[in-house]
Amino acid sequence: MNVKNYVSLKSKSAVSLSKETLNGENHYFLTQKRWDGETGTALADNKLEVELNHYESDKSHIENEIAELTTKKDALTEIIKDIKAL
């Protein structure tokens, strides 16, 4: 599943998260509904173990990219303003 589709799929009840405790440790699973493209018949759900730290790391990288792009945008805005002031 593409992460950017999660909210849309969740709102359609096509994807869900669950937690299971195995050997005293929490394990998280993402379950996605599947259908046959030709007949529309429901297929077996796709259940995939996911790791919280993976998503936290991805989010942190994106936040860093946003900060860098914001700094670059602010600098470009200042350059444009200064050029127009000439």
The model's pLDDT over 17-70, given as tens digits with 9 standing for 90+, comes to 999 999 999 999 999 999 999 999 999 999 999 999 999 999 999 999 999 999
**Per-domain boundaries in the chain:** 1-50, 51-86
Look at the pTM and tell me if it is higher than 0.95: no
- The answer for residues whose C-beta is within 8 angstroms of residue 32's C-beta and 6 or more apart is 1, 9, 14, 15, 45, 46, 48
